[in-house]
Chains A and B, each alone.
Chain A
Amino acid sequence: MSRQINIYHLYPSQLNLYGDRGNMLAISRRARWRNIELQIIPIEPGDQINFDRCDLLFMGGGQDSDQLLVAADLKKRQAEMRQAVEIGMPVFAVCGSFQLLGNHYTAVSGEKISGLEILDLYTEAGDKRLIGNAVISCPLWQPAQTLVGFENHAGKTYLGPGLKPLGTVLYGFGNNGQDKKEGAVYKNVIGTYLHGSLLPKNPWLTDYLLTKALEYRGQDSTLEKLDDSTETEAHRAAVYLARSWRHRMRSSRA
């Protein structure tokens, strides 16, 4: 019997900035190349969600105006979602959704928007956007692997004392441009500011999510090796660009 995974794609028509489609494509292609049956179930605001059937929850980035709409709707599912996360449901959240998983977001006006309180972090609106290519060293693997992506955020995110970052910033700004931390990991929840799209150029992270989703559903989680020569070259080229003088001169101009 072939293996199966259900991915819940949260609010695809609201949270779809920054090539989030690339992340979904990466997961579904890499599953299909290994004959894993993968179903992507789009969740729209107001839909009933049965988290029991969800093996991986994917949350993308949205523009400011859509994000508020989404926050209000998600708040209604806070309890169920926290429960699922505690028993190990994998979640992958990018940019705006990463902020939304935290305790609160403080807008420029001082207004506090409460988050889902799944990750112990908070975000403050910054005066300057942090923009550019970024490379982090990520300890989800031994030895640590690099992840490369593009960040573009005005919010500055600070992790609580017990919360681990996704990685340490080698090039770029990370969560707040100060503490060298990027993203956050709690149980099987990964939050990050990196897009680019993130997953296609970091195939080991895509495979990590697939493994976690298979495990969560109690299936055989061994993944056969694929020919990743194109992805690896793209990763290498992107790291090279992020390190280059040309790029560092012009990151964050907004």
Chain B
Amino acid sequence: MQKDTAKTGGFTNRLFQIKKTGAIVIGKALIAFTRLLGRGGTTLPGRMAIRIKPDLSELLAGQLLKGVLVVTGTNGKTTTSALIKNILKAAGYSCIHNQSGSNMSWGVASALVDAASVGGTITADWALMEADEGAFPKIVQDIRPLGIVVTNIFRDQLDRYGEIDRIQDAIGRGLQVQAAGGFQVVNADDPSLVSLDGLQGKQRLTYGLEIELIEDSFQNTGRDLKTCPLCKKELTYERVYFAHLGHYHCPTCDFRRPRPDVRLTGLTIKADGSSLLTIKTVDKQININSPLPGIYNYYNLLAALTCAVALNIPEATVVKTLEIANPSFGRMESFTVKEKELVIALIKNPVGANEVLRTILNRAEKATLLVAINDKIADGTDVSWLWDVDFEQLATRSEQLTATFAAGLRAWDMAVRFKYAGLDQQQILVEENSGTALHRALQATPPGGKLYILPTYTAMLEIRRHLNRMGYGRPYWEDR
């Protein structure tokens, strides 16, 4: 609306210009200021800028030469968008990206303000934005993406969105409001996504796994969505890859998994932990040697590849990029600190946390464990989900643990969780301050040893700030 008044010129036009410039200048100043304080400047600047100029994101995103891509879903957003970004860069495009998981509407605004000139011009080819599921409809409306990638829907931060049904609604609404002419990339193995409409005038490509079932030793990767999204009767699964992702059909109505456009048909795990993947697209077969471990990463890789297919990026460029992919920010990232290897893996919901624990325990080596749980808004204020994570796996392998720390605002909840998982109460070390916990955990780790840190989102930011201060790791807002 303000866009139209701007065109009428005169006083309103000048006022409009002042507001826009003001919003950008203040946003930029706040970014610089928060970075001086050792923070990323990914929340507050955007919040202030959109308060001054609510349609700022729309104005800035409209200038991109090629367009906007949005990635949403519960798990895998960050890895998937990092892969897409690398593909775009390898294909010779410039790309703006909201790094470090700041994926609410103000995070998107912060990234755009950061990339814009003071005068409000942006000269990049693409903007690639991660969107939180709840913020997704608003973000789609604001920045009008050409392409949308939806990874999956799991139980995550229920306090923020109420139940899974509501997350599904939000994603459906976002797909609806996407403008005609765009494309959507959707996980075919997730029944809750396949059933969403919102296709009018848009193209939808799906991806999925078609490999032999891998045995799942984790008992509690419970299926969140067991009922048919159309008729509400129970679904039958021929294969479950994890949680509710798999090959399903409804015995009552006609609903069934569609045949994906992009399919993972072959998998060989090699001795060095990398995976040789055979992927079939509509018209060809591609082989990729991927360094990323775990089923969830196969899904992330397929999502990125399918998006690249939709964008007509040459196959050789895509394959080359995917073969050198690094784990994304906070997802199994490692540092060497005083001859000790420190691995940080973000946890935020049962499915993701189980995957992390599985990967750690499979490495079968002695290590210190630090789990840091905060309950701020970005972490999810309800810590119930800790009880759905299979920490019981740790008790059966307790000889692998040199020391176990519970940290964060909810350190004591985590300590109780460890205790009821079967760990010895005396061996659980509790330290509410994440920074102090980091130091104690480092001390407890012998030289040459390993320290695994499993933090929630804001606990991860705290721990990274401490590491930065100690001189390790790059500040997280720096491009990698």
Query: Nearest chain-A residue to B222 (Cβ)?
Result: A16
Min CB distance, B163 to chain A, in Å? 4
A231 at the interface (CB under 8 A from B): yes
CA distance A131 to B162 in the complex (A): 9
Are A22 and B384 in contact, with the CB atoms below 8 A? yes
Are A238 and B226 in contact, with the CB atoms below 8 A? no
A181 at the interface (CB under 8 A from B): no
Query: Which 5 A-B pairs rank lowest in CB-CB distance, beginning with the nearest?
Result: A22-B387, A19-B384, A19-B387, A234-B412, A63-B163
Sample of 19 A–B contacts (CB below 8 Å): A13-B222, A17-B155, A18-B384, A19-B384, A21-B388, A22-B417, A65-B165, A66-B226, A129-B162, A131-B382, A152-B159, A154-B162, A200-B417, A234-B415, A234-B416, A238-B413, A241-B409, A247-B381, A253-B377
Pick from A129, A132, A150, A241: contact of B384, CB below 8 A. A150
Are A25 and B387 in contact, with the CB atoms below 8 A? yes
Q: A19-B385, A65-B232 are in contact. Are A254 and B161 (CB under 8 A)?
A: yes
Are B425 and A230 in contact, with the CB atoms below 8 A? yes
Are A250 and B226 in contact, with the CB atoms below 8 A? no
Could you say which residues of chain B place their CB within 8 Å of the CB of A250? Answer: 377, 381
B48 at the interface (CB under 8 A from A): no
A197 at the interface (CB under 8 A from B): yes
**Chain B 149-165 residues near chain A, CB threshold 8 A:** 155, 158-165
Could you say which residues of chain A place their CB within 8 Å of the CB of B164? Answer: 63
Binding site for B on A (CB under 8 A): 13-14, 16-22, 25-26, 29, 63-66, 68-69, 129, 131-133, 150, 152, 154, 195-197, 200-201, 227, 229-231, 233-234, 236-238, 241, 247, 250, 253-254
Are A19 and B386 in contact, with the CB atoms below 8 A? yes
CA distance A86 to B160 in the complex (A): 39
Are A65 and B227 in contact, with the CB atoms below 8 A? yes
Min CB distance, B240 to chain A, in Å? 13
Could you say which residues of chain B place their CB within 8 Å of the CB of A19? Answer: 384-388
Given A29-B420, A69-B232, A200-B420; 10 other pairs, CB 8 A cutoff:
A14-B226, A21-B387, A22-B384, A22-B388, A132-B159, A150-B159, A152-B158, A197-B387, A237-B410, A241-B410
CA distance A250 to B378 in the complex (A): 12
Query: Nearest chain-B residue to A68 (Cβ)?
Result: B232
**Chain B 398-430 residues near chain A, CB threshold 8 A:** 409-413, 415-417, 419-420, 425, 428, 430
Are A196 and B382 in contact, with the CB atoms below 8 A? yes
Query: Nearest chain-A residue to B419 (Cβ)?
Result: A230
Are B384 and A233 in contact, with the CB atoms below 8 A? no
Could you say which residues of chain A place their CB within 8 Å of the CB of B425? Answer: 227, 229-230
CA distance A73 to B190 in the complex (A): 27
Min CB distance, A101 to chain B, in Å? 19
CA distance A133 to B415 in the complex (A): 19
Min CB distance, B244 to chain A, in Å? 11
Could you say which residues of chain B place their CB within 8 Å of the CB of A65? Answer: 165, 227, 232
B123 at the interface (CB under 8 A from A): no
CA distance A237 to B222 in the complex (A): 29
Are B382 and A152 in contact, with the CB atoms below 8 A? yes
Could you say which residues of chain A place their CB within 8 Å of the CB of B163? Answer: 17, 63-64
Could you say which residues of chain B place their CB within 8 Å of the CB of A231? Answer: 416, 419
Could you say which residues of chain B place their CB within 8 Å of the CB of A197? Answer: 384, 387
Q: Report which residue of B155, B220, B384, B430 has the largest number of chain A beta carbons within 10 angstroms of its beta carbon.
A: B384
Are B413 and A201 in contact, with the CB atoms below 8 A? yes
CA distance A65 to B155 in the complex (A): 14
Query: Nearest chain-B residue to A131 (Cβ)?
Result: B159
B375 at the interface (CB under 8 A from A): yes
Min CB distance, B53 to chain A, in Å? 24
Pick from A152, A154, A200, A234: contact of B387, CB below 8 A. A200
CA distance A48 to B168 in the complex (A): 34
CA distance A196 to B380 in the complex (A): 12
Min CB distance, A38 to chain B, in Å? 14
Could you say which residues of chain A place their CB within 8 Å of the CB of B440? Answer: none
Interface string of B158-183 (1 = CB under 8 A from A): 11111111000000000000000000
B66 at the interface (CB under 8 A from A): no
Min CB distance, B233 to chain A, in Å? 8
